[in-house]
């Protein structure tokens, strides 16, 4: 899903807050900047719920943390949770061949 973004300064967001909310209600993001640097993003509530779910899963959840949130996704989540990461393939071989890899 591609969302269009609007960028406004903190002062503009304060002055035109109702307009920022209308923009977000239309499904677009509003990035708020301070001194030219992004400091916050207003997003539709449905997207915020998805961000919270991903944050709660944490980085250790891997792909299983990305799955879910749609109808009948529980099976995919369970399958991904059962998978294990495989070890790196070339880790020992490079060192054995004298390539200086550590």
- Hey, what CATH topology would domain 1-43 get? YefM-like fold (3.40.1620)
What proportion of the chain, given as a percentage, has pLDDT over 70?
53
Instruction: Read off the pLDDT of each residue in 2-25 and give the average, rounded to a whole number.
Output: 90
| pLDDT of 1 | 40
DSSP 26-84: TT-EEEEEETTEEEEEE--HHHHHHHHHHHHH-GGGHHHHHS-SSTT-HHHHHHHHH--
- Positions of CATH 3.40.1620.10 in the chain: 1-43
pLDDT digits (tens, 9 = 90+) for 83-96: 655 666 665 555 55
């Amino acid at each position: 899903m591609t969302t269009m973004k609007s960028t406004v300064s903190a002062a503009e967001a304060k002055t035109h807050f109702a307009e920022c909310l209308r923009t977000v209600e239309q499904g677009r993001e509003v990035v708020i900047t301070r001194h030219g640097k992004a400091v916050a993003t207003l997003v539709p509530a449905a997207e915020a719920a998805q961000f919270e779910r991903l944050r709660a899963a944490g980085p250790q959840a891997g792909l299983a943390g990305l799955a879910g949130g749609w109808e009948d996704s529980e099976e995919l989540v369970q399958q991904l949770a059962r998978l294990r990461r495989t070890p790196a393939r070339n880790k020992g071989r490079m060192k054995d061949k004298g390539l200086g890899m550590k």
